[in-house]
Structure 1
């Protein structure tokens, strides 16, 4: 059972969304979630549900809503099941904190702040970015209308802004003022009187060579404070203005070991996020299986926390690859799942895994990609490693289609039917590193991989799902299922008619190879 309050209120179990009914029922659940594992008095519930005038039947309405929610929550595994308990003088929602996005957010923020206090600002930026990405909009956005004036919601917004300021602080500490500038400007425009944000914007602008813009920020803040409240800016902000006027060395990027600047301030892999997604489709992998994805020690999805020193003699294909770098890539992720019942053919599973690896390797190479190191049950292919192209995202989706179609073609002639394959494609900035044991194959980490793992856990078997960035980059060549943007990614359907023009395969199959690959056996069929 999973719950989301950082955005619209959502509840889900085993990948299926739970309809929560009317406004009273939804507001009751929302308030109990904000106070999870604590007793909330009935008179408090009356105040928050009916702030203006309490109807005579209000207590009965609360009782009916509680009974309805108890029925809704009586699903899922017993060890993760939520329950509403009657506890004097009211009710208590007993729930595992790991199943509520609010508590995941708080835990990651605390971890990021601990990393920052320890001087690991790159790791702090990763962790805090991941925490902020748990927010899907204003907390309880679907309930936050004019009469929902809960102090808890103001507190949540303060927590978010505090985490955002800490993230900007970590980004400035590792010299990523260019990367955070746009988001920082937006945050200041939305919160013009938060002096810490304004100060961070002044530093970022100054480091970008925009001294006059930095001073304009100070003047705007001072005008607002003086005219509206009769106050001067804080001592720290006035000191910052003097430093900008003096071009003080204190405003330069703090000195740090060179290795730290190679770390990308990306989101960390967050295993719990894969398990806790409440928006999975009913036929998507369940939360227990999803945890296996997050625990895979893949070359894709591992956070860089150390400076790996690599000698050229330890690796083939050296040269410009010896240093970590940040670049834009598209990544195909393939997750192979199967049961472990006694009557299942383990040799058949082994054969299927080999088949999928061979097809993915052949197709990714043909379309100009790089096969990632294999760490079953997740396989990966990366596009844009050595020679980035504008159509890398399209090449990645075409590779995913080729794998999907091979699986379809083999149904149901061979292979164990209990094996299920899920495919996702994501695009974005990543950090590429080259480790001695990986024979020149890059380790890919960062936001793009984290999003891919979370998306992979929600992909219905037999489909290819892509992120919004990938969809925008490929919509002229790829057809997608129409409709509003889904929380579990866009379903890629087919290559558009005539879209192959201008997409030349980097390597065509050798004459001795069949169009489907070099003598590869058929793949397993999808489970119905």
Structure 2
């Protein structure tokens, strides 16, 4: 027979639950279990069942009946090979005698004490294992069903505090093992629920700092300091103040310990984090430089634009899923950064730093580097995965800061430009004021790229500049194209989608070699103030992901060679177009006539769909401009 207190009250016979009866009987057993093997006064039981001075005249009789019923229950399930529980009548009340191994509360205390002893002895790995086993016994709030019925006993508060203490001990052991990434999410959740526990905030700050999130670590300290001052009129303790100073000065003592802690990690609930692939190259540390008080008079300086990217995850029970999502996100970031001639300078957990360097410090060259950095951020906006396989929501923020740096001090062997410590601090400060899915830039970056990037000024308590999308300066006209009429039609349909918030399909069809792929690529290059996403078999779109992307800007989904797609992909596109919610989505799909021989009615059922038939472009588009209207069957509405 087993008694389960760490969650809803349960009495178990092997794996079978034993019925306990009504509320008074369950409450009597719960209060006796919280004081197991100790005498509980009748007056305390009456107060626990009815409250102070509210017990009815028949309260003692009701209590006696509950005790008698519990004895009958125990006798009916008496084990043959173990000491049965005994409910004794004492001089002043009752005592429940039970083997401690039969009550999960006692097993929790024993394993938690073993974990603390191992931690004090300098064995954090053994401590984490014992504490993990202790915390795994919990199924929710202690005696949750009785609490829901209005019971509030001091023993319940003490037991809940014991759980919080064990959680902090577990996080302490994992931090000593170097597993700060594994406990970061649970620590953030704990400090949100228990904002005044200084030890937990101390651990959260340390985990954030070791994850490359210095600004967030300092923000956690400031939140606690504000709450303590407003609610209690107190200042944080000495240890917490010392940690804040150590974070500010980048004290080397805060570094994560090396050794076995670099292995796979398990959370308090026993979920494991996927171990990173051993063969994957790790970027060297960021090269920091000190600004020179006497710049080279010959102009031997350059400009560096730093792009800092941070991704966070909502509640999730699978750290392996988070690890997989981080791997996919890091690969996407590297691909887009290199596409815009940048380099990955460092990566720590969910924070990645990319650098874009100019050849000189002149505004024209510095502007090109800054534009590449902002363009990489805008490109990443539609490509960073939105969902974690375990069901968590991924949140991202980006910041771009531009400053001068010595032109020849970079790491020539890796093409990695130097970055000043002040520039990293500036990026971290920008990330701190950014909201979810925002790209925040410094004033210097905005000044250099104002002609080619559209910005919005966020005002209020935290004023900032946010990048909205690419624009064309009045003097920077697009290159003439043989497909300008078709591109104009696609641009007008995108504007229609933007205004009406309705999905629209444009099916571009032609024979092979006419230029469907080139048309899609050119349209993608010209799209302004919208998120462009390529439909790929490895990253299928869903209505949920589209809704997340369209929360900020319209989405252009480009699908090339759709005639090669299988039926599942074709059905997925139709599902996106049939979204029950209004979403600004433009699907531009290129396909050969084979698509309609295989699926004759595909796309015909859409209320907002167009077909664009491409003919071979003339060799001299200027000479044949008068006949351009014959090149295209322009967008005949289906329905």
TM-score normalised per structure 2: 0.42
Q: CA deviation at 1:119?
A: 1.1
8 Å CA contact retained: 1:105, 1:131: yes
Q: CA deviation at 1:254?
A: 3.4
Aligned to 1:33: 33
Partner secondary structure for residue 143 of structure 1 = helix
Structure number, greater radius of gyration: 2
Among 136, 139, 143, the alignment partner of 2:142 is 139
Aligned to 1:55: 56
Structure 1 position 171 matched with structure 2 position 155: no
Aligned to 2:121: 118
Q: Deviations over 1:343-391 (max 9, x none)?
A: xxxxxxxxxxxxxxxxxxxxxxxxxxxxxxxxxxxxxxxxx9xxxxxxx
Give structure 1 stretches of 5+ with no counterpart.
270-324, 329-383, 385-426, 431-469, 473-500, 502-528
The 1:117–1:209 alpha-carbon spacing in structure 2 relative to 1, beyond 3 Å, is same
Among 84, 88, 104, the alignment partner of 1:85 is 88
8 Å CA contact retained: 1:126, 1:267: no
Partner secondary structure for residue 190 of structure 2 = helix
Q: CA deviation at 1:108?
A: 0.5
Q: CA deviation at 1:145?
A: 3.3
Among 34, 54, 78, the alignment partner of 1:76 is 78
The 1:259–1:196 alpha-carbon spacing in structure 2 relative to 1, beyond 3 Å, is closer
The 1:89–1:76 alpha-carbon spacing in structure 2 relative to 1, beyond 3 Å, is same
CA distance in structure 1 between the aligned counterparts of 2:178 and 2:74, rounded to whole angstroms = 47
The 1:191–1:96 alpha-carbon spacing in structure 2 relative to 1, beyond 3 Å, is same
Aligned to 2:102: 99
CA distance in structure 1 between the aligned counterparts of 2:41 and 2:167, rounded to whole angstroms = 33
8 Å CA contact retained: 2:182, 2:273: no
CA distance in structure 2 between the aligned counterparts of 1:228 and 1:50, rounded to whole angstroms = 32
Partner secondary structure for residue 138 of structure 2 = coil
8 Å CA contact retained: 1:108, 1:127: yes
Trace 1:58-457 onto structure 2 (pairs within 5 A). Answer: 58-74=59-75, 75-78=77-80, 79-145=82-148, 147-254=150-257, 258-259=259-260, 261-262=262-263, 264=265, 327=274
The 1:209–1:158 alpha-carbon spacing in structure 2 relative to 1, beyond 3 Å, is same
Give structure 2 stretches of 5+ with no counterpart.
278-317, 322-388, 392-567, 569-639
Partner secondary structure for residue 250 of structure 1 = helix
Q: State how many pairs are aligned.
A: 285
Structure 1 position 9 matched with structure 2 position 12: no
Partner secondary structure for residue 180 of structure 1 = helix
CA distance in structure 1 between the aligned counterparts of 2:232 and 2:260, rounded to whole angstroms = 46
8 Å CA contact retained: 1:82, 1:93: yes
CA distance in structure 2 between the aligned counterparts of 1:155 and 1:245, rounded to whole angstroms = 36
Q: CA deviation at 1:220?
A: 0.6
CA distance in structure 1 between the aligned counterparts of 2:197 and 2:177, rounded to whole angstroms = 23
8 Å CA contact retained: 1:32, 1:93: yes
Partner secondary structure for residue 84 of structure 1 = strand
Q: CA deviation at 1:43?
A: 1.2
Structure with bigger RCO (C-alpha 8 Å, 6+ apart): 1
CA distance in structure 1 between the aligned counterparts of 2:206 and 2:260, rounded to whole angstroms = 23
Aligned to 1:413: none
Trace 1:449-528 onto structure 2 (pairs within 5 A). Answer: none
8 Å CA contact retained: 1:9, 1:140: yes
